[in-house]
Amino acid sequence: MLSKKLLLLTFFLLVSLSLKAAENVSIIFDGVTDDVEKNILSSISLQKQKDHPRLSVSRIKKLHSKAQEEIKLSLQALGYYRPVIHSDLTHTKGVWTAEYKINLGVPIKVTIMDIQIKGDAASDEAFDQLIPNLTLQKNAPLHHGKYESTKKDLLRLAAIRGYLDAEFTSNKVEVDLANYEANITLHFNSGVRYHYGEIRYSDSPVRQDELQNSQSFEEGDPYLNSQLITFQQNLANTDYFSEVEVQPLHNEINNKTIPVQVHLVEQKRNRYTAGVGFGTDTGPRLKLGWSNRYNSQGHRMGADAKISPTLSSLSSHYTVPNFRKKGAELGFNASLSREDTDTSKSNAAQIGINHRQKRWGWDETASINYLLENFEVSNTEETSKSLIPSIGWSKTKTDNTTYTNNGYRLGLNMRGAVETILSDFSFFQVGLNGKYIRSFWDKGRFITRGNIGLTEVSDFNLLPTSLRYFTGGDNTIRGFEYEDLGPTDDRGNVIGGKFLLVSSLEYEHKIKDKWSIAGFVDAGNAFNTFGDEFEYGAGFGVRWLSPVGLIRVDLAMGVSDPDRPIRLHIVIGPDL
C-alpha cells in the first residue's frame, strides 16, 4: 500500500515539474547595428531555445556560456575577426537577462581578389561588365554572404548566356590573421557557349512565317535566355493566344545545341465583351464589344459601342500586326459619336489610320484622322471638317491595376491641321496629363494629378467642341457639373477655351478591409487668356474596393463659387 502511495506521489511530482512554467529569458546586445544583431540572433543557441516550454535554469546558464563563441563565429561571417565581447547573466523579477556588450573592431579586408574567367566567356563582354559590379570587391570588408553571392552571380550569368558546362575550378577564401587580411580565389571555366537548335512550333491559327518575325534569334545563334522571354512576351501581346510558352529543351541537347519548343493555345476566333458602369458625369454606361481574328496573317477586326445619356459612340477597327516589333501594329478606324452636355452638343464622324509601337519604353501612337463635326454651343451651330495628323506617347506603371499603392500615368499628345489641306481652319494643340500615386505609412496614400492643354487656332468659332477645353466634373474639378467651367460669351454661356490647367491633391486613408475615406482639393480652369481666375473645389469621399472594381463616392463643393450646391460624384473604375 505504501509503495502505491509512493508511486502516485512520484508521478504527481514528475507531472508538476513537467508543467512548471518555462524560465523567461531576455537577450540584449550593445554596440552593434540592427543588421548585425539579426545575424547574431540567428546563430546563437540561447535565442533558438529561449521559448522552449521546459527550459531550465541550468540549461540557460549552459547556453549562455556557449554564446560568446557562437557570437564570434557569426561575426566572422561579416568580416569581424577581432571582436571584444563582454557578457553578463542576471536574474531579476523572474526574468533572466543575458547581456552582451560587443566591440566589433575593424573588419578584415580583401587584399587579393583573384578572379579568372576561362573558356568562351573570357571574350564575352557581359562578363567584363559583371566583374567590376560584383557584390564583393578588392579592398572591401570581407563578407562571407557576399562571397557566396558573387559565386552565384557568375553561375547565374553563365546559365542565362548558354554556358551550361560552367564550373569553378578553384574557389576559396583564405584568412591571414597575422597580417589581418583575406585573399579570395575564384577561377571560373565557362566551357563552350551553347547555341539554339531547332525551333519547333505547335499548331497555330497564325502562319508560322508570321510568328517567326517575332523572333530576335535564329537556329544556330548563341543562346541567350532573355531572348526567349522577350519572344514569349511578344507572342502573348498579340492577343491571339490564351497560352504561350517558349521552352528550351535541355533534355534534348545535342552537339552543344538547345532545341526550343514554342507551345501555343489559340484564343477563340470571335470574342464578345460587355460591361456596365456609372459616373455622375455620364450617368449609367453600357459598353459592348466584338473582335475577330480575321486570317492567318494575324489581322484583326472589331467593333465597339458605348452608350450613355451624355456620350455615345459606335466605332470599328481593322488591325494589321507587325510581328517584327513588340506591340507594333497598323490600324484603320472609323467612328460615329454624339455628345450632349449642358454647355454643348456635338455629332461627329471620323475615319483614320494609326500606327502603334513601343519606343524608348513608351507607347507611341501616330495617326491621321479626318473629322467632320456638327456642333452647337451658346445657341450657335457650326459644321467643320479637318484633317488631323497627331502623335502621342503614354506610359503607365502600377503595382496593381485595380487598386494602385504606388504607380503613375503620363501622357503627351500633339495634333493639328492646316487650313489649305482638307480643313476649314488651322490649329495646333499640345496636351500633357499625368497622375501619381504614392503610399505612406501602412494605410494612407497620396494621389495627385494634373492636365495642361495649349491651343493655337486660326478661327476659334470653327474649332469643334471636341477640340475645345472645358472642365468641371468627376475627374477634373469636383464640386462643379460636367464641363460646366470655361470661357463664356457675352450672355454668360460657357463656350470652351484654348487653354487648360487643372490639378488635384487627395489623401486617402484605409479604415477597414476594403473601405477607405478621402479628402481632396481640385483647382484649375479652361481659359482663353492665361491669368484668368482659377476655380476651386474641395470635399471628402468614401472608397470601396468592390468585386466589380474600385467605387469612389465624393461630396464636393465649389469653394470659389459658394452659391453652387454641394454635388455628389460617383465613379467606378481603376485608379490609372
Determine, yes or no, domain membership for 122: yes
Same domain, 133 and 66: no
Question: Where does the pLDDT of residue 18 fall: very low under 50, low under 70, confident under 90, or very high at 90 and above?
Answer: very low
Q: What is the CATH number of the domain that holds 125?
A: 3.10.20.310
Largest CA distance in the chain: 122
Backbone φ, ψ for residue 165 (5° rounding): -105, 10
Same domain, 146 and 253: no
Question: Where does the pLDDT of residue 383 fall: very low under 50, low under 70, confident under 90, or very high at 90 and above?
Answer: very high
**What is d(CA 521, CA 554) in angstroms, rounded to the nearest whole number?**
12
pLDDT in tens, 283-319: 888 999 998 877 777 788 999 999 999 999 999 999 8
What does the pLDDT average to over 512-517?
91
**What is d(CA 41, CA 34) in angstroms, rounded to the nearest whole number?**
10
pLDDT in tens, 522-572: 999 999 988 788 999 999 999 999 887 889 999 999 999 888 889 999 988
CB < 8 Å & 24+ apart, contacts of 125-129: 126/157, 126/161, 127/154, 127/157, 127/190
**What is d(CA 178, CA 237) in angstroms, rounded to the nearest whole number?**
61
Contact 329, 320 (CB under 8 A): yes
**What is d(CA 565, CA 556) in angstroms, rounded to the nearest whole number?**
9
DSSP 406: S
Residues facing 436 on adjacent strands = 408, 448
Backbone φ, ψ for residue 253 (5° rounding): -60, 135
Determine, yes or no, domain membership for 90: yes
Determine, yes or no, domain membership for 12: no
Same domain, 131 and 176: yes
Q: What is the dihedral of CA 461, 466, 470, 472, to 10 degrees?
A: 150
Judge residue 340's burial from the number of C-beta atoms within 10 Å of its C-beta, 0-12 exposed, 13-18 middle, 19 or more buried.
Answer: middle
Neighbouring C-beta atoms of residue 548, cutoff 10 Å: 11
Q: Where does 249-325 show beta strands of DSSP type E?
A: 257-266, 270-279, 283-293, 300-307, 311-322
Determine, yes or no, domain membership for 402: yes
Same domain, 359 and 454: yes
Determine, yes or no, domain membership for 9: no
pLDDT in tens, 153-186: 999 999 999 999 999 999 999 999 999 999 999 9
Contact 287, 275 (CB under 8 A): yes
**What is d(CA 156, CA 163) in angstroms, rounded to the nearest whole number?**
10
pTM: 0.64
**Cα–Cα nearest to 120, from 226, 260, 256:** 256
pLDDT in tens, 396-414: 998 888 888 999 999 999 9
Grid coordinates standing for 36?
Answer: 548585425
Q: Which residue carries 561575426 as its cell?
A: 75
Question: Where does the pLDDT of residue 19 fall: very low under 50, low under 70, confident under 90, or very high at 90 and above?
Answer: very low
**What is d(CA 415, CA 428) in angstroms, rounded to the nearest whole number?**
6
**What is d(CA 563, CA 234) in angstroms, rounded to the nearest whole number?**
55
Domain boundary among 159, 189, 219: 189
Q: Which domain holds residue 405?
A: 270-572
pLDDT in tens, 65-87: 998 999 999 999 899 999 999 99
Helix (H) or strand (E) holding 152: helix 144-160
Helix (H) or strand (E) holding 47: helix 45-49
What does the pLDDT average to over 115-121?
93
Same domain, 372 and 294: yes
- Give residue 4's pLDDT: 58
Same domain, 231 and 277: no
Residues facing 396 on adjacent strands = 409
Grid coordinates standing for 112?
Answer: 587579393
Count of domains forming the chain: 4
Domain boundary among 248, 266, 284: 266
- What share of the chain has pLDDT > 90, as a percent? 59
Residue 245's identity, in one-letter code, is E
**Cα–Cα nearest to 545, from 527, 505, 518:** 518
Contact 467, 423 (CB under 8 A): no
**What is d(CA 121, CA 168) in angstroms, rounded to the nearest whole number?**
13
Helix (H) or strand (E) holding 69: helix 57-76
pLDDT in tens, 529-541: 887 889 999 999 9
Same domain, 460 and 378: yes
Same domain, 206 and 328: no
Q: If DSSP states are collapsed to H, E and C, what string results for 74-135?
A: HHHCCCCCCCEEEEEEEEECCEEEEEEEEECCCCCEEEEEEEEEECHHHHCHHHHHHHHHCC
Residue 88, CA distances (Å) to 36, 67, 97, 102, 158 in order: 19, 11, 8, 12, 50
Q: What is the CATH number of the domain that holds 558?
A: 2.40.160.50
- Give residue 442's pLDDT: 81
Same domain, 253 and 214: yes
**What is d(CA 530, CA 537) in angstroms, rounded to the nearest whole number?**
20
Determine, yes or no, domain membership for 538: yes
Domain boundary among 218, 244, 266: 266
Same domain, 236 and 365: no
Q: Which residue carries 548566356 as its cell?
A: 161
**What is d(CA 147, CA 411) in angstroms, rounded to the nearest whole number?**
44
Helices 225-237 and 144-160: crossing angle in degrees, nearest 10, is 60
**How many residues does this entry show for the chain?**
576
**What is d(CA 546, CA 572) in angstroms, rounded to the nearest whole number?**
10
Same domain, 160 and 223: no
Helix (H) or strand (E) holding 5: helix 2-18
Dihedral over Cα of 71, 72, 78, 83: its sign? positive
Same domain, 121 and 70: no
Question: Where does the pLDDT of residue 268 fall: very low under 50, low under 70, confident under 90, or very high at 90 and above?
Answer: confident
Determine, yes or no, domain membership for 525: yes
Whether the pLDDT of residue 249 is over 80: the answer is yes
Determine, yes or no, domain membership for 361: yes
User: What is the phi-psi region of residue 251: left when phi exceeds 0, alpha when psi lies from -120 to 50, beta otherwise?
Assistant: alpha
As separate numbers, helices (DSSP H) first and strands (DSSP E) second, the chain gives 8, 25
